Amino acid sequence: MEKTQTPEEIRQMTRARFSRIAGDPSSEKRFPVGPESAKRLGYNPAEIDALPRSVTESFAGVGCTIALGPIEEGETVLDLGCGAGLDSLLAARRAGPGGRVIGIDMTPEMVRKAEENRRQLGMENIEFRQGSAEQLSVEDASVDLVLSNGVINLCLDKERVVSEIYRVLRPGGRLYVADIILEDGVDQATVEELGTWSD
């Protein structure tokens, strides 16, 4: 039986994995990454194909969060665990010049890639920050919409993440989330098998 990992070890493994996916997206063999995955999940193929490859190649989402409801002009949107920034960039187009998107991710290589993508597209209404979903560097009641695509399952303190989302949303704010969940029936031996859930 493998040794149980500490929270910090799990965090470091997650960061290492997404750092690798930022630099070499084709190295990920366990789950789908990239533009073809985005199209399969419901993103508009024409919109995906029109974007530079660097915006879509490290997409690692599990759903199409931006299609879960409206994104209105002028809104402030937080993309929690933004990765290389696909959802942030598409949300910023919809929120328009009077709106604003904040993308936060704990992996520095993803944040750097998202920022390069933003600069390449010349979009001024987005700001990418490195940070933790468990402790958001965002003011209370300042956000209209939180997007989160494939992130909360990776967070170690999910209750804290939900309470942070609640804190930053304005009254009446919305959360569009796509994620993966475990159903019943996974035994402890399987959970403890290194390689089943992570590298």
Ligand X SMILES: C[S@@+](CC[C@H](N)C(=O)[O-])C[C@H]1O[C@@H](n2cnc3c(N)ncnc32)[C@H](O)[C@@H]1O
Residues that bind ligand X (CB under 6 A): 14, 18, 59-61, 81-83, 86-87, 105-107, 110, 132-134, 149-151, 154-155
Q: Identify the CA nearest to 129 among candidates 168, 82, 198, 172.
A: 82
Q: Please, which residue, 24 or 74, has the CB nearer to ligand X? A: 24
Give the phi and the psi of residue 79 in degrees, each rounded to 5: -100, 105
Q: Please, which residue, 55 or 95, has the CB nearer to ligand X? A: 55
Q: Please, which residue, 18 or 128, has the CB nearer to ligand X? A: 18
Residue 141 Ramachandran class (φ > 0 left, ψ -120 to 50 alpha, else beta): left
Residue 34 Ramachandran class (φ > 0 left, ψ -120 to 50 alpha, else beta): left
Please classify residue 67 by burial: count the beta carbons closer than 10 Å to its beta carbon, then call 0-12 exposed, 13-18 middle and 19+ buried: middle
Closest CB 70 distance from ligand X, rounded Å: 19
Closest CB 144 distance from ligand X, rounded Å: 19
Q: Which amino acid is at 150?
A: G
Q: How far apart are CA 136 and CA 139, in angstroms?
A: 8
Q: Please, which residue, 95 or 154, has the CB nearer to ligand X? A: 154
Angle CA(131)–CA(137)–CA(141) in degrees, nearest 5? Answer: 140
Q: Please, which residue, 30 or 73, has the CB nearer to ligand X? A: 30
Closest CB 5 distance from ligand X, rounded Å: 15
Closest CB 54 distance from ligand X, rounded Å: 13
Closest CB 150 distance from ligand X, rounded Å: 3
Q: Please, which residue, 112 or 170, has the CB nearer to ligand X? A: 112
Closest CB 63 distance from ligand X, rounded Å: 9
